[in-house]
Homo-oligomer: A and B are copies of this chain.
Amino acid sequence: MKPLKIFCDVKLSSDDQLEFLKQSVSPHEILLPENPAASVLSPGVFDPKFKQADIAFGQPGLESILSSENLKWIQLTSASFTRYDTEEFRKTASEKNLKITNSSTVYAEPCAEHVFAFMLADSIRLPFSLKTRITSSSQNWADLRKSNRLLRNQTVLILGFGAIALHLIDLLKPFSMNIIGMRRNPKGKETVPIITKKDLPQTLGKADHVINILPDNEESTQFFDEKMFSYFKQDSVFYNIGRGTTVNQEALYRVLKSGKLRGAWLDVTDPEPLPPGHPLFDLENCYITPHTAGGFSEEKESLIRHFLKNLERYVQEKDLLDRVL
């Protein structure tokens, strides 16, 4: 086999990492752009070198992909596929006979821990408890203690049943929760009860925790709207670690303001970040982290290792991991 040319626009953390990548792919060759992508979620910048690439590792833009003459496989550095989930891209990928893989395996664990941290923080009313200087044995103190909840026996509904959901289910095991998943096409082999969209009104009515991991696509845009929130159980909690566009934020504001929801925990919004003074910032029961779910100290290293594992499979003509197209 002729050495492959691998175009990599991933912004690595150190020269050591680049050196490790270069040595690990040898005899194949790494092509570096003038400017790497700003982050693992940002589109890469067009670079003439892309033309020669056999493989792309990063977030290549459509312009780059159209320019390519040899491209056979793109390894995305994101867990999502949103930027590429278009008619135009699918057509290009099909014409060029491209394989596309993402890095959802890498992000399943940190994303699951992020939403799990949200769930536990909500259960013990952490943000409020850290702020208050309440006095032990006061009535307010007794009320605060009483507003803490155990996860045991609560019902959690997970929308978007991919790698993150499966990892989260593992983490929740010791809590004896009632876990329900929603996916477009149930496979029948899931380890928890699965519903489809038509069952949502009923299931939302009994879910204490609603976890939104829906990807961004036509079907999911504004999925959580006024009507959907109307099905929620009183005092339930809403979490979004999928994509901000799946939620109608005005409807979320109203349902939070009304006191029907105990809280909303969002790692994603639309846009990101929300503009200063956005109404969601004013709500005491709306908690927003700036799309940091998925980040972790060994993130770049894990992305490289994931790519290397797939490169080995690619060379051996085995099925690729996390293949999306």
| Interface residues in chain A, defined as those with a beta carbon under 8 Å from any beta carbon in chain B | 13, 38-39, 41-42, 109-110, 113-114, 116-117, 120-121, 123-127, 129-130, 132-137, 141-142, 144-152, 170-171, 173-175, 272-273, 276, 287-299
A121 with B121: CB separation less than 8 A = yes
Q: Could you name 27 residue pairs across A and B whose Cβ atoms are closer than 8 Å? A: A13-B146, A38-B137, A39-B142, A109-B150, A110-B148, A110-B150, A113-B124, A113-B150, A113-B151, A117-B123, A121-B121, A124-B289, A124-B292, A125-B292, A127-B127, A129-B290, A130-B287, A130-B288, A133-B276, A135-B290, A141-B291, A145-B296, A146-B296, A146-B297, A146-B299, A147-B297, A171-B175
A249 CB → nearest B CB, Å: 16
A137 with B299: CB separation less than 8 A = no
Residue in chain B with minimal CB distance to A267: B129
Set of chain B residues within 8 Å of A133, measured between Cβ atoms = 273, 276, 290
A311 CB → nearest B CB, Å: 24
A57 CB → nearest B CB, Å: 18
Set of chain B residues within 8 Å of A297, measured between Cβ atoms = 146-150
A325 to B21, alpha carbons, bound, how many Å? 63
Residue in chain B with minimal CB distance to A294: B145
Set of chain B residues within 8 Å of A135, measured between Cβ atoms = 273, 290
